Amino acid sequence: MEYSYPFSPDWSTTEIIDVVRFFEGVEQAYEKGIKREDMLSRYRRFKEIVPSQAEEKTVFREFEEASGYVSYKVVKLTKEQEDGQLIKM
């Protein structure tokens, strides 16, 4: 699919890469599945970059509008599952 990932001009190159990695994890959850531990690790790093709940919602909404994937649902399922499980939407 052709779309761009949301990012802030205030983020460093490393932070942008890590946020894109998080959203790639969301894509994987919808397309083929991703290990819970991997998704949780990506989300924790995402929260270091985007600590504000309001900013998280904004970035999630921008990604959903561009891709059709709902990040919130993936994060919610990731938090509910136990280690060793595959996150698949």
Domains of the chain: 13-84 (1.10.220.80)
- Give which of 47, 50, 77, 72 is closest to 61, Cα–Cα: 72
pLDDT of residue 1: 59
The burial class, CB within 10 Å (0-12 / 13-18 / 19+), for 41 is middle
Q: What are 52-66's pLDDT values in tens digits?
A: 999 999 999 999 999
Residues above pLDDT 70, as percent of the chain = 99
Alpha helices (runs of H) in the chain, residue ranges in sequence order: 13-31, 36-49, 53-67, 71-80
- pTM of the entire predicted model: 0.92
Q: What are 30-59's pLDDT values in tens digits?
A: 999 999 999 999 999 999 999 999 999 999
